[in-house]
Structure 1
Amino acid sequence: MSAATPSDTPGNTPPAPDAGHGGGALAPADDIVVLLSNAPDLLLAKRIAHVLVEEHLAACVNLGPAGLSMYMWQGALEGVEEIPLTMKTTLARAPALIARLGELHPYEVPEVLVLPVSGGSASYLAWVREQTRPGEA
């Protein structure tokens, strides 16, 4: 690590990153949410991510490594490898994202969970809002 800079010496503590909604009064529709889902294979996961970002429904989609999902389906225990998807968007865009994901996804009942974001970097949250603004597609 390099020598201390003026901003990290005692008495010059830099301000903490904005943990709020990015400053200013924002409508709840501008709140950032994270959606979780999965895809049955990497090729489809990439296609879903590409479409959602290109259509400005998600600012970013992260694809995780394949993992085993265990669940009951129609009375039988299933165990399949799936690619996790983590999508960032606004609360206002979440319904359209969910609808589009349903069109792209082969499962009868794809997993879709919407999780609130309680804070983060103001510049990142603003970027998500900008990238998912309706009419950008």
Structure 2
Amino acid sequence: MERMLLVYTTFPDAPTALSVGEALVRARLAACVNVLPDMQSVYAWKGAVERSTEVVAILKSREGLAEALGAALKARHPYDTPIILYLPAAGADPDTAAWILAETTPET
């Protein structure tokens, strides 16, 4: 069975994350997108240390869609250089894996 994949990214606000997440779910590139609000970030950017409030989004998908999912995420993302981390899942409950596979398989 294909391995499950989590993709970690951040957005400037929840409405943007939810909008992008919905587009990715509707495109069947992700089965689900969890949006966690009000994260405080400190990061290095263009030679300066910055602070901002962001939201985290965790996308549930499968490894075979990593390239297409990453491209679609970048195309819709408001940041010049969005953080996109691919986190292959070491394992998954069989029912969870079946659901993710079913929701990320193109409809015929």
- How high is the TM-score relative to the length of structure 2? 0.94
Partner of 2:5: 33
How large is the Cα RMSD of the aligned pairs? 1.2
- Any idea what SS the aligned residue of 1:84 has? strand
Tell me, in whole angstroms, the C-alpha distance in 2 between the residues paired with 1:121 and 1:113: 22
| Residue-by-residue CA offset, 1:53-110 (whole Å, 9 max, x unaligned) | 0100000100012111111111011111111000010101111111011011111110
The aligned length equals 108
Which 5+ residue runs of structure 2 have no aligned equivalent? none
- Any idea what SS the aligned residue of 1:83 has? strand
State the one-letter code of the partner of 2:73.
L
Tell me, in whole angstroms, the C-alpha distance in 2 between the residues paired with 1:43 and 1:33: 24
Partner of 2:39: 67
Percent sequence identity over matched residues?
34
Partner of 1:136: 107
Per the TM alignment, residue 136 of structure 1 is displaced from its structure 2 partner at its CA by: 2.7
Query: Which structure would you say has the larger Rg?
Result: 1
* Structure with the higher helix share, 1 or 2: 2
Partner of 1:103: 75
Runs of 4+ in 1 over 2 A off after TM superposition: none
Per the TM alignment, residue 120 of structure 1 is displaced from its structure 2 partner at its CA by: 2.2
Partner of 2:27: 55
Tell me, in whole angstroms, the C-alpha distance in 1 between the residues paired with 2:33 and 2:66: 13
Per the TM alignment, residue 116 of structure 1 is displaced from its structure 2 partner at its CA by: 1.2
- Any idea what SS the aligned residue of 1:33 has? strand
Which 5+ residue runs of structure 1 have no aligned equivalent? 1-25
* Structure with the higher strand share, 1 or 2: 2
